[in-house]
Amino acid sequence: MTLLQPPAAVTYLIRDLPSDERPRERLMKYGAANLSNAELLAIIWRTGSSGKERESVLSMAQRALSHFGSLAGLAKANITELSALNGIGAVKAIEVMAAIELGRRLAVAVPEERPVIHSPREVVNLVHSEMALLDQEELWLLLLNSKNQVLAIRRTYRGTINASSVRVAELFRAAIRENAVSVIIVHNHPSGDPTPSPEDVRVTSEAFRAGELLDVAVLDHIIVGAGRDRYVSMKERGLGFTA
C-alpha cells in the first residue's frame, strides 16, 4: 500500500501572484510612488507564510497595516510587537524596521531638503502624525543647525516625563555628537490635553540651564496634544525659560 505523502509546505512568493498583481512588476511599470503601502511592504518582505494558514505576502502586508492602523502606526511598533503578528516573525520585523529607519534618515539627510523650523506650528506639523498615535509619553529631540534646519530627530525617553527620569547629560549627548547648534524638545500628552504640568516646567528649566552651559541653545519645549491645533509652546508662555 502506498502511503500518501503530505503536501510540501507552500511559501507564497511575489512571483506566485498574477502578473498584473505583482508589486515588483507594478513598480517597474508605474514607479514606486504609484504603489500602495501594502505593495511596497510586500516587496520588502518578498515571501508570505507557509503551513496550514498559508497567506500571500501582499495579504500579510495589508493585514499588518490594518492591525497597526496605518503606516505611521506600523512605524512606531517595536520588534516584539511586529514579530508577534502571525506569519511575520523576527526577520520580517527587522526588515521593515530597517526600511522605515532609512526613510526617516533620508528625510533629513539632504541639506537643501531638510525641514527648516521657524515656529512651533512647523514643529507640530513635522511630528504630529506619529506622536498622535503614541499611547505613552515620549520625549523627542529635534537637532538643528545654524540655519534652523533639522539635522535629525531623536527619540530620547519613553514613559512618564519628569525631572527625575530625564537625565540632562543624556538629553544633550546626541546634540553634541552631531554638532547641533540648537535643539527643540517635544513630548506628547497621551490624554490629549497639552497643558504643561509642574514637572514639564521643571524639565524645561533644567534643560534650558544645561544648554547654556553646553553652548547648545534650547529653542523651545513643545507639548503635543490630540489635534494639530492642540499644542503648547513653553517658550511662548515663558515657562522654564529663565536663567
**Which tens digit of pLDDT belongs to each residue from 109-133?**
666 678 899 999 999 988 887 787 7
pLDDT beyond 90 at 7: no
Domains in the chain (CATH in brackets) are 14-107 (1.10.150.20), 112-237 (3.40.140.10)
pLDDT beyond 70 at 161: no
pLDDT (average), residues 192-200:
91
Percent pLDDT > 90 in the chain is 31
More confident residue, 221 or 107: 221
Q: Is the dihedral of CA 225, 230, 236, 238 positive or negative?
A: negative
pLDDT beyond 80 at 179: yes
Task: For the beta carbon of residue 141, count every other beta carbon within 10 angstroms.
Answer: 25
Report the distance separating Cα 219 and Cα 180, nearest Å: 12
- pLDDT in the model for residue 108: 65
Phi then psi for residue 48, to 5 deg, are: -90, -160
- pLDDT in the model for residue 236: 95
Least confident stretch, 18-22, 70-74, 174-178, 202-206: 18-22
pLDDT (average), residues 169-193:
89
pLDDT band at 187 (very low <50, low <70, confident <90, very high): very high
More confident residue, 54 or 2: 54
- pLDDT in the model for residue 13: 59
| Lookup: cell for 187 | 513630548
- pLDDT in the model for residue 208: 93
More confident residue, 100 or 7: 100
pLDDT band at 10 (very low <50, low <70, confident <90, very high): very low
- pLDDT in the model for residue 2: 43
Q: Which residue has the cell 505593495?
A: 39
Q: Please write the tens of the pLDDT for every residue from 16-43.
A: 666 666 788 888 888 887 888 888 998 8
Phi then psi for residue 233, to 5 deg, are: -95, 115
Burial group, residue 201, by CB count within 10 angstroms (0-12, 13-18, 19+): middle
Pick from 186, 76, 86: which is nearest to 133 by CA?
76
Q: Is the pTM above the cut of 0.85? A: no
Looking at beta carbons, which pairs linking 84-89 to residues 24 or more positions away fall under 8 Å? 86/49, 86/53, 87/48, 87/49, 87/53, 87/55, 87/60, 88/60, 88/64
pLDDT beyond 90 at 182: yes
- pLDDT in the model for residue 163: 53
pLDDT beyond 70 at 15: no
